Structure 1
Amino acid sequence: MSQRDTLVHLFAGGCGGTVGAILTCPLEVLKTRLQSSTITLYVSGVHLSAVNGASVARVAPPGPLHCLKLILEKEGPRSLFRGLGPNLVGVAPSRAIYFAVYSTSKEKLNGVLEPDSKQVHIASAGMAGFTATTATNPIWLVKTRLQLDTRKRGEQRMSALECVRRVYQADGLRGFYRGMSASYAGISETVIHFVIYESIKRRILEYKAPQSLDEEENRSKYASDFAGMMLAAATSKTCATSITYPHEVIRTRLREEGTKYKSFFQTLRTVPREEGYRALYRGLTTHLVRQIPNTAITMCTYEVVVYLMKG
C-alpha cells in the first residue's frame, strides 16, 4: 500500500467516525447512563417491601425513555451532548488509526495468508483494535466521566480539563487507562463485526461484478453499492454487539469516579452477584439503536470518501 493510500484511509476513517459521533451523541450519553451503577439515582420514587419484617428499598433502574425524560427535566437538553468535545477529539484519530492499521495489516497479511480470507480479516481487525484502543483510552475515559456528570440545571458543569485534573490527582497516569482491559475484551466485537462485514461486502461485489452497465446505469449501481455497504455494516454490527455486549457495561463501571470496581473479572463477578445477570445487558437496546446507524454512517462515509479520493 502506498503512502497516499494510507493517508486516504486515515482521512476517510476520521471523517466517518466524526460524522457518526455527532449524529448519535445523545444516544451515546443515554447508553452510558444506563450502563452506570449510579443509574438508580435517577429514580424518583422508591418502592418499599417487607422482607422478614424489615423495610428494604428495591429500586428498579429506569428504562431508556424514562432516563431520557429525567435527563431533560433535571439537566436540560445540553446534557445529551455531554462528552461530545472529547468524543470529537478522539473519534477522528481513533477511527483513522483503526482503518489505517486495518488496511495496512490486511495488505501485508494477504501476501502471507490466503488473500482476503477470514484469517486475514480477523488478524487485521484484532491488530487495528488493539492499536486504536491503546492510543486513545485516556480520551474515552474523560468522555465517560463527563457523560456521567449529573449536575442539575444552573450548576457549573465539569469541564474536560477539570476532569483530567481530578483523574490525575486521584490515580495518577494509571487512572487514564482504567477500563482498558474491558476495551481489549471488546476487540472480539470488532473482529466479529469486520469478518461478517467483509463477507457480506464481498458477496455484494461478486453479485454485481458480472453485470455490464452503461454510464448512467453505473451511477445507479454506485448508489446501490453504498446502500448495500450500509446494510452490511448495520447487520454485522448488530450480530457482533449482541454477542459481546457485557464488556461495554464492565468498561463503564471501571471508568466511574471513585468506583468500587477494580478489574475486568472482579467487575464481571460483582455486577451479576449484586444486580443479577440482566445488569450486564443494561442499555443494550439503546446501544443497538445508536450503534447501528452510527456504524452504518461511519462505514458508508469511509467507503464514500475512499471512493472519491481514489477517483
Structure 2
Amino acid sequence: MFERDTLVHLFAGGSGGTIGAILTCPLEVVKTRLQSSSVSLFVSEVQHSSVHGAKSKRVTPGPLRCLKLILEKEGPRSLFKGLGPNLVGVAPSRAIYFGAYSYSKEKLSTVLEPDSTPVHMFSAALAGFCAITATNPIWLIKTRLQLDTRSRGEQRMSVAECIRRVYRADGLRGFYRGMSASYAGISETVVHFVIYENIKLKMMEARGTANMDNDNQAVKGASDFARLMVAAATSKTFATVLAYPHEVIRTRLREEGNKYRFFSQTVSLLWKEEGGQALYRGLTTHLLRQIPNTAIVMCSYEIVVYMLNG
C-alpha cells in the first residue's frame, strides 16, 4: 500500500510539472534572457541613433521590450527554446521531488510531530536536494539553449551540439554548473511548502466548520481545488521574492565561458559590475511565470492524487 501511495505521488508530480512547463515556456525564455549577462549587449546591438549615428547606450530592457526583441530577431519559435529538455526534465524532476517529499514527510512524521512545520521544512529540503542533484545536467542544457541568440534563419543550436560544447569546455563537471545556486534555492522551496501546507490546513479547518448541508459534491470539489490554487500562488509569491537572487546567480553560472566560476564569486562580481539591483533582474517576468505555473502544478498534482486515490 505504501509503495502504491509513493507511485501515485510520483505520477501526480510529473504530470503537474509537465502541464505547467508547456503553458509557461515563453515566459521562462524571457526570464532567462533578462537574468543573463548578455541581455544589455543584445539590446545595444539592435538599437541605433537615427540622427547622429552615435553608438547605442547599453540598457537593460523590460520584459515586454525583451519579448519584442526576441520575436524581431529570432522569430516566434525562439520562445519555445529549451522546451525539449524542459519536458524531458520536468516530469522526472517533479516526480522525484513530490515522491521524496511524500516519503520524507511520512518517515519524519514517525519521529517528529506529524504534519508539523519542522516535518514540512525538512521534507521540502530533502526533496529539493534529491531533485536538484539528479536533474541539474538537464536544466543546464535547457538554460544554454534559451540563451542561444542566433538570428532568424540561422541554424539553431541542437541539444546534441550543446552537450558537445559543454563537455568540450568543462568535461563532465560542466554539466553540474549552477548546482550550488540551486542548493541555495532550496530555501525558496522550504518557505513555499511550509506556507502552502499551513494555508491548506487552515482552509480544511474552515471547511470543516462550514455549513455542510450542500450535497453538491462537484461544486464543493471545484471550490476546494480553486482554494488550493490560491494557496499555492500565495505561498509561492512570498517564497520567490525572498529567494530570487539565487535564480540570477544560477543563470550566470550556467552561461558559457569562465567569467562566473562559483557562487560567492558570482555574487561579488555581479554586485561590483552591475549593482545590487542586478540580483533581481527578471523578477517581474519570473513572478508572471512562476505564480500561475506553481498554481497549475500544485492543482494538477492534487487533482491527480485525488483521482487515483478515489
What's the secondary structure of 1:229's corresponding residue?
helix
Deviation (angstroms), 1:259 = 3.9
1:16 matched to 2:21 = no
Alignment CA distance shift 1:56-1:273 (3 Å): farther
Mapped contact 1:46–1:59 kept (Cα < 8 A): no
Mapped contact 1:35–1:253 kept (Cα < 8 A): yes
Inter-partner Cα distance in structure 1 for 2:152 and 2:114? 56
Amino acid at match of 1:8: V
Aligned residues: 304
User: What residue is the counterpart of 2:308 in the other structure?
Assistant: 309
1:270-289 paired onto structure 2 within 5 Å? 270-289=269-288
User: What residue is the counterpart of 1:51 in the other structure?
Assistant: none
User: What residue is the counterpart of 1:116 in the other structure?
Assistant: 115
Amino acid at match of 1:200: I
What's the secondary structure of 1:129's corresponding residue?
helix
Inter-partner Cα distance in structure 2 for 1:13 and 1:56? 50
Mapped contact 2:47–2:56 kept (Cα < 8 A): no
Deviation (angstroms), 1:216 = 3.8
Mapped contact 2:108–2:119 kept (Cα < 8 A): yes
Amino acid at match of 1:45: Q
Inter-partner Cα distance in structure 1 for 2:64 and 2:191? 30
5+ residue gaps, structure 2: none
User: What residue is the counterpart of 1:175 in the other structure?
Assistant: 174
User: What residue is the counterpart of 2:233 in the other structure?
Assistant: 234
Inter-partner Cα distance in structure 2 for 1:279 and 1:211? 47
1:78 matched to 2:77 = yes
User: What residue is the counterpart of 2:268 in the other structure?
Assistant: 269
Greater Cα shift, 205-214 or 1-10: 205-214
Inter-partner Cα distance in structure 2 for 1:209 and 1:41? 56
Mapped contact 2:249–2:263 kept (Cα < 8 A): yes
Mapped contact 1:186–1:248 kept (Cα < 8 A): yes
Percent identical among aligned pairs is 71
Inter-partner Cα distance in structure 1 for 2:115 and 2:294? 22
User: What residue is the counterpart of 2:29 in the other structure?
Assistant: 29
Inter-partner Cα distance in structure 2 for 1:57 and 1:26? 27
> Over aligned residue pairs, what C-alpha RMSD do you find?
1.5
1:1-311 paired onto structure 2 within 5 Å? 2-43=2-43, 44-45=46-47, 58-211=57-210, 213=212, 216-311=215-310
Mapped contact 1:42–1:67 kept (Cα < 8 A): no
Deviation (angstroms), 1:41 = 2.4
What's the secondary structure of 1:88's corresponding residue?
helix
Greater Cα shift, 192-201 or 38-47: 38-47
Greater Cα shift, 109-118 or 133-142: 109-118
Inter-partner Cα distance in structure 2 for 1:193 and 1:242? 11
Inter-partner Cα distance in structure 2 for 1:180 and 1:116? 29
State TM-score, norm by structure 1.
0.95
Deviation (angstroms), 1:73 = 0.4
State TM-score, norm by structure 2.
0.95
Mapped contact 2:125–2:189 kept (Cα < 8 A): yes
Amino acid at match of 2:123: S
